[in-house]
């Protein structure tokens, strides 16, 4: 009977992996076996035997585990997802509530860091799919999505510093952007309207001065994505301070390298500035990008509560001086990125008829 099959699979298989919540190896081994068992269920049962509730539960379990860093897990769950959901976009639209619930449990119940990182990647992938839906639903009124946002928010709040936190920060930023996105000139559909604290912006920016350079860069990118979506742009002086803090950290790391003992005549290794796509240059690129993007929110005539006033002489000069300092010291990759930032900034100022020469 379909109802009996749903009960057996749900109680004896789908919920059983929580027994291994403290042991990553045992949980992974069980999940590989679980994927094979569920594959056999799908293979042997026709569509009439598999109830929609059971299909949704299996799809929700498969969605997140496809993003595991363990290849064996990924290869075990991907075929099951493809069998259940030939179209990812259609499946996410149909099962997003069950997927949100499954992902939420990982942040509430699991104490495993690797589990949270895996599910954070799945959250970002889910947000990418939900952003594509048209007409755009009011995600701020969707109970499943808001519950997932709260679960990720609380998980990040209590997060210890470890390499890999960037995935969780990205997930929080993507969820907040999904909930609070609005176009310039549009009123916020969220009640109450989000602010820096409720949206998670303050929390994300707090990680820009903690952890590895890679995770700090992820924090800045997540914060920029959220500010762009919700139009919660901070003052230029705050973004300038964010970049100054990043510069100070890179300077500190470079000083440590220069102080290392080495043989006479041995060159100082290039690990940070000057090394293309190094974590340091990725971090500096992120803060400069956020600074340039914030300048692009300066309008001659403010028409939106997220618009900023035209930059003062000191504010625009500070951006040019800081970016020029990095241009002189960095790799060709970062130099090209800075050139693109300058082009964007001056194009925006020209479009808004904001005099730049008098401000430099």
Tens digits of per-residue pLDDT, 57-70?
Answer: 999 999 999 999 99
CA distances from 131 to 135, 139, 344 (A): 10, 10, 26
* Mean pLDDT across the chain: 90
* pLDDT tens digits, 170-210: 999 999 999 999 999 888 777 778 999 999 999 999 999 99
Cα torsion for 34, 146, 69, 228, to the nearest 10°? 160
The CA radius of gyration of the chain, in Å to the nearest whole number, is: 24
Mean pLDDT of 351-357: 84
CA distances from 312 to 172, 200, 236, 324, 346 (A): 33, 28, 9, 18, 15
**% the chain with pLDDT above 70:** 96
Q: What is the pLDDT of residue 121?
A: 96
Highest mean pLDDT among 72-76, 128-132, 310-314: 128-132
* Token couple for 246: 């990043």
If pLDDT is split at 50, 70 and 90, which confidence band does 250 have? very high
Please state the pTM of the whole predicted model. Answer: 0.91
CA distances from 99 to 57, 92, 102, 310 (A): 8, 8, 5, 44
Q: What is the pLDDT of residue 10?
A: 74
Mean pLDDT of 125-152: 95
Alpha helices in the chain (DSSP H): 2-9, 24-44, 52-65, 71-84, 88-109, 113-131, 143-157, 165-180, 201-206, 213-230, 236-259, 279-295, 313-329, 332-351
Using N-to-C axis directions, what is the helix angle for 113-131 and 24-44, rounded to 10°? 50
Q: Choose among 65, 9, 74: nearest CA to 37.
A: 9
């Amino acid at each position: 009977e379909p109802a009996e099959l749903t009960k057996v699979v749900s109680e004896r298989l789908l919920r059983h992996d929580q027994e291994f919540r403290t042991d990553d190896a045992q949980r992974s081994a069980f999940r590989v076996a679980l994927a094979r068992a569920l594959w056999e269920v799908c293979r042997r049962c026709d569509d009439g035997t598999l109830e929609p509730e059971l299909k949704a539960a299996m799809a929700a379990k498969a969605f997140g585990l496809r993003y595991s860093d363990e290849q064996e897990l990924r290869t075990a769950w991907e075929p099951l997802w493809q069998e259940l959901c030939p179209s990812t976009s259609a499946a996410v639209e149909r099962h997003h509530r069950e997927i949100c619930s499954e992902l939420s449990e990982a942040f509430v119940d699991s104490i495993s860091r690797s589990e949270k990182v895996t599910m954070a990647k799945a959250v970002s992938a889910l947000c990418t799919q939900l952003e594509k839906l048209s007409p755009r639903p009011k995600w701020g009124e969707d109970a499943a999505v808001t519950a997932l946002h709260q679960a990720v928010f609380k998980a990040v709040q209590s997060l210890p510093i470890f390499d890999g936190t960037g995935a969780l920060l990205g997930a929080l930023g993507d969820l907040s952007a999904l909930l609070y996105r609005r176009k310039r000139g549009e009123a916020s559909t969220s009640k109450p309207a989000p602010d820096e604290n409720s949206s998670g912006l303050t929390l994300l920016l707090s990680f820009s001065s903690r952890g590895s350079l890679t995770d700090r860069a992820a924090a800045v990118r997540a914060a920029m994505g959220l500010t762009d979506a919700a139009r919660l742009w901070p003052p230029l002086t705050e973004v300038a301070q964010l970049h100054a803090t990043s510069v100070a950290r890179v300077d500190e790391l470079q000083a440590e390298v220069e102080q290392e003992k080495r043989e006479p005549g041995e060159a100082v290794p290039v690990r940070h500035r000057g090394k293309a796509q190094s974590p340091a240059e990725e971090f500096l690129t992120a803060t400069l990008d956020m600074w340039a993007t914030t300048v692009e929110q300066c309008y001659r005539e403010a028409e939106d509560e997220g618009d900023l006033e035209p930059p003062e002489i000191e504010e625009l000069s500070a951006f040019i001086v800081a970016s020029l300092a990095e241009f002189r010291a960095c790799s060709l990759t970062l130099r090209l990125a800075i050139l693109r930032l300058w082009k964007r900034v001056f194009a925006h100022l020209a479009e808004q008829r904001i005099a730049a020469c008098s401000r430099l």
